[in-house]
Every structure is written in C-alpha cells, then in structure tokens.
Chain A
C-alpha cells in the first residue's frame, strides 16, 4: 500500500490532518514533517528526509508527499537530494492542496491504488468544488 508524507510549517496542523486521515483511511501509513527541528513554525529538510525514509521502510509501494507553502518546496527538494536513487524512485511529490489532496490520496491508497493513482487523486484540485454551485463567485455567502 502506498503511504503519505505530510510536509508543512506547523506540527499541530499536520497532526490534526493526520487524525482526519486516520478516520478516512486508517490502514494508510502517514508520516509527518511539520515545523523546525526546535518545534518552531517552518520546515526542516532533515526532518523531511527522516519522515520519508521511515515511511518508505514501512511502505514498499512508495509514498506520495504533500506540502503546504513557501519554504516547504525548497526544504523538500533538499531532502530529496539526500535520498538514495532507489528510495527516490518510490517517491512522488503532489501539487495538490494539502488537506483535500491528502484526504483523496489516503482514500485512493487505502483502496490499493498504485503510486501514480494516489498521486493523481491528490492533484484533482478539490479547491474548485469546495462550495455548492449556488454560492456566488465573489466570495459572499448565498441568499
């Protein structure tokens, strides 16, 4: 089964998201790399590297990484630099929204989908359909 790795600036945010994933797809392994090594807001390349390695050790089918914003992509790129080619071949990085993408990816992974399907599920741009069609396009509430 494909695993997930969540990368973001806040450990608390990612813990909350992991709890949501555990409810939707309890069988999926979910690694976290949130905050800096000292627990501040930010991202840490060494922590991301550790999280990916730990998850890959448990998930022979590979892992999809989801990230939040800003420095997360830079730190992730540095972490991937230090990953062995064999491990790197089992990792895919998602362009999807962190929360919605992770939930969709977890459900796909729990269903036995391969790495490519889990990645695709995470990138289905769910932000576009967050609200029902009767909500106005200008951000105000309906009615």
Chain B
C-alpha cells in the first residue's frame, strides 16, 4: 500500500464527504447537533486542498497518515475530528512499525485498522452497540481480520471490510444511543442512522474503491 494510494484515498474521501455533506448533516440534525457533515467537510476539504497543492510528501504511507491525523484533529473541530484524528494517528504509527513501513498483506492491514479502531474506541470510551462510529468500524475490522486469515488479496479484503461497515451503519437504525450528543435524546434516538457510523462506512468504501481501482 503506497503513500500515493493513501493520498488517493484521502482525496476520494474528501470528495465523497463533500458530496454527502448535506446528508451527513441531516442525519446529525436528527439526533445530534447537526454539524457532522459541515465539520468533516471542512476538515477533509482542507486536507484535500493541501494534497492538491502538492506540498505534502506522499512517498511513505505512515508519515502521510500521521500528517492527515494531525490535520484532521486541528480542523474538523467536533468530537469526530478528535476521534478520526486519533484513528489516523494510530494507523500511521502502526504502519510505521511494519516491515518496510508499508502494508503488503490483508492481515497486516487488519492489524493497522485494529490499532486505529482501538485507539478511537479508547478515546471515545465506547464499544459497539452504542450507536457510534464503532458500529461500522468494529465489524469492518472483524471482516478484515477474517479476510486476512483466509489470505484474501488486499483489494478484496478491503471490499469485505467496507461491506461490513455499511451493514453495521445500517444496523444502527434501531439502536438506542448511549454515547455523545445523541444520548441526550434517550429513546428518541431510536429509528435514526448514526451519522458517525455512516461517515465511517463512507471512509472505508472510499478506501476499497481506491484499492480496487474502481475510483
């Protein structure tokens, strides 16, 4: 997994977040404070602008993820900025610990995503089932680990992870929120998709599409 692929992922993610900005914000307006799409759009948009200018070194994936993590924590603003920032920073650190500083197998990618999601979960003091990003991310890690164990190629494995994340995001609809702003609504949080789970699935689908050359 090259730095150029990671850069391509971040840029595709920014473009899709921009497209889905109103939808993400609408989801958040129903159960949160209505700024998820706006915040992510601002942060990923700023990162995309830096990547477009080309003043960011993209030859190594680990340092690029670390740079992206710092940028996202500084510009998104809400809890999602800290959480995604933490995940990107942990992913970057995990990548740098791999042989050659890069991912070569789906099992290695699973270990990187596991480190990222564990870091995010620890910062959010959350676990799956609480109507959060983790309801998309944890099934994705599990799917990626299974794909890694089965020896699937990287692109197919990431596609399975994105499928699992989308299913997990859909499954947040009936859940009762017990974390974050949505928990203030209590039972009224039931019957809505979690915006963080939806954006998490979007990020993984973008990675799958870049890895498979579909985007």
Binding site for B on A (CB under 8 A): 9, 35-38, 40-47, 70-71, 74-75, 77-78
In the bound complex, what is the Cα–Cα distance between A29 and B115 (angstroms)? 38
Partner of B123, one of A38, A40, A41, A74: A74
Q: How distant is B184 from chain A, measured CB to nearest CB, in Å?
A: 11
A78-B76 in contact (CB<8A): no
B residues in contact with A74, CB < 8 Å: 79, 82-83, 123-124
When each residue 83-120 of chain B gets 1 if its CB lies under 8 Å from chain A and 0 otherwise, what string results? Answer: 10110010000000000000000000000000000000
Q: Is the CB of A36 within 8 A of B76?
A: yes
Given contacts A44-B73, A45-B74, A70-B78, contact A38 B46 (CB under 8 A): yes
Chain B 170-214, CB-CB to A under 8 Å as 1, else 0, gives 000000000001000000000000000000000000000000000
User: Is there an interface contact between B74 and A44, defined as CB atoms closer than 8 Å?
Assistant: yes
Report the minimal beta-carbon distance from A95 to chain B, rounded to whole angstroms. Answer: 16
Contact A75 B73 (CB under 8 A): yes
Provide a sorted-by-A list of 5 A–B residue pairs whose CB atoms are within 8 angstroms.
A37-B75, A38-B42, A40-B77, A70-B78, A78-B73
Closest-CB distance, A10 to chain B (whole angstroms) = 11
CB A118 to nearest CB in B, in angstroms, measures 26
Contact of A46 with B82 in the complex, beta carbons under 8 Å: no
* Cβ-defined contact, B85 with A9, below 8 A: no
When the two chains form their complex, are residues A44 and B77 in contact, meaning their CB atoms are under 8 A apart? yes
Smallest Cβ distance from A105 to chain B, in angstroms? 24
Write out, one digit per residue, whether chain B residues 30-46 have a CB within 8 A of any chain A CB (1) or not (0).
Answer: 00000000010011001
What is the CA–CA distance of A141 and B75 in the complex, to the nearest angstrom?
Answer: 41
Would you call A36 and B75 a contact (CB within 8 A)? yes
Q: How far is the CA of A48 from the CA of B122 in the complex (A)?
A: 20
* Set of chain B residues within 8 Å of A44, measured between Cβ atoms: 73-75, 77, 81
Q: Once the chains bind, are A78 and B82 in contact (CB under 8 Å)? A: yes
A75 to B82, Cβ gap below 8 A?
Answer: yes
Q: Could you tell me the distance between the alpha carbons of A36 and B42 in the complex, rounded to whole angstroms? A: 10
Q: Is the CB of B42 within 8 A of A71?
A: no
Q: Are B85 and A36 in contact (CB under 8 A)?
A: no
How far apart are the CA atoms of A47 and B85 in the complex, in Å?
14
Contacts of A78 in B (CB 8 A): 73, 82, 85-86, 89, 123
Is B70 an interface residue when CB atoms closer than 8 A count as contact? yes
| Contact between chains at B77 and A42 (CB < 8 Å) | yes
Task: Specify which chain A residues have a CB less than 8 angstroms from the CB of B85 in the assembled complex.
Answer: 45, 78
Q: Which residues of chain A are near B46, meaning CB under 8 Å?
A: 37-38
Instruction: Point out the residues of chain A lying under 8 angstroms from B81, CB to CB.
Output: 36, 42-44, 71, 75
Cβ-neighbour of A47 out of B74, B78, B79, B80 (below 8 A): B74
Considering only residues 52-86 of chain B, those with a C-beta below 8 Å from chain A are 70, 73-83, 85-86
- CB pair B74–A36 under 8 Å, yes or no, is yes
